[in-house]
Amino acid sequence: MSLFIAVHPSSPAVEHLADEVERVRRAPAAAGLHWQPPGRWHITMAFLGDGNEEQEEAAAEVLDLAQERTSTVRVRLSGAGAFGRQVLWVGAGGTTPTDDEAFDALAANLHREVSRRGIRLERRQWRPHLTIARARHADARPATPLLASYEGPAWPIDALSLVRSEGGPSPVHNVVHRVQLLSRDDPPPGA
C-alpha cells in the first residue's frame, strides 16, 4: 500500500483531456501504450510511499491544516512530456504567474508539513503532471509531440485528497481523506 496527496481535475478538464487522449491513442506514435483510465487521473502533490495507519493519520492532519491555510488556485493541464520510456504525462500549472507560484507553494507546504510529521518523501523534485499512459514494452516518448500543444480548460483546485494505492500494474486508488479548500470569495469558517 502506498499513500499520496492528490488534486483531481474537474469534470470538464477530464472530459476535455479524454477527448484529446482518444485522438492521440489512435496515432501510430502511441502504439503499445497502456492508457490510464480517467477515473485514476490525478496530480500528485506529495508521494508518501509505503504507508501505515499512523502515517495515514498524520497525512490526514496535514490536509486538515492545509484546509485552514490554503485558498483555491486556478490551474490547467497543458503540454506533455515523458519520464524515460515508460511514462507519458500532461503537465499542470497555474493559469497566471500568481496562481503558478501559489500552486508551487501549496506543494512545498504539503511536503514541509508531511516531513515535520516524520513521513519520508521521495527525493525527486516535484513536477506537476498527470500520468495518462505507461509503456511496458513500447516507448512513450514518440507520443509526446502529439500532446505538446495541448491546453485544457482552467479549474480551481477546490479539494485535496489523501489516496491509498493498492495493487500492481493496475492499482486501485481509494480516497481515504478529503478536504475542501476555501474559495477566495468564501468567508472564513465561523465568520
Q: Express each pLDDT in 144-164 by its tens digit.
A: 999 999 999 999 999 999 998
191: confidence class by pLDDT, cuts 50, 70, 90: very low
User: Which domains are delineated in the chain?
Assistant: 2-180 (3.90.1140.10)
pLDDT reading at 188 higher than 50: no
Higher per-residue pLDDT: 77 or 188: 77
189: confidence class by pLDDT, cuts 50, 70, 90: very low
- d(CA 150, CA 191) in angstroms, rounded, equals 41
Report the percentage of the chain scoring pLDDT > 70: 93
User: What does the pLDDT look like over 95-142, one tens digit per residue?
Assistant: 999 999 999 999 999 999 999 998 888 777 889 999 999 998 899 999
The CA dihedral of 157, 63, 42, 88, to the nearest 10 degrees, is 110
User: What does the pLDDT look like over 49-75, one tens digit per residue?
Assistant: 887 888 889 999 999 988 877 777 899
> Listing from the earlier edge strand, what are the strands of the sheet with 159-166?
43-50, 2-7, 159-166, 172-180
> 49 — phi, psi (to 5°)?
70, -160
Return the pLDDT at 168.
65
187: confidence class by pLDDT, cuts 50, 70, 90: very low
> Largest Cα–Cα distance in the chain?
56
* Mean pLDDT rounded to a whole number for the chain: 89
Look up the pTM and report it: 0.88
Lowest mean pLDDT among 89-98, 125-134, 165-174: 165-174
- d(CA 91, CA 80) in angstroms, rounded, equals 6
- d(CA 114, CA 174) in angstroms, rounded, equals 19
- d(CA 71, CA 36) in angstroms, rounded, equals 30
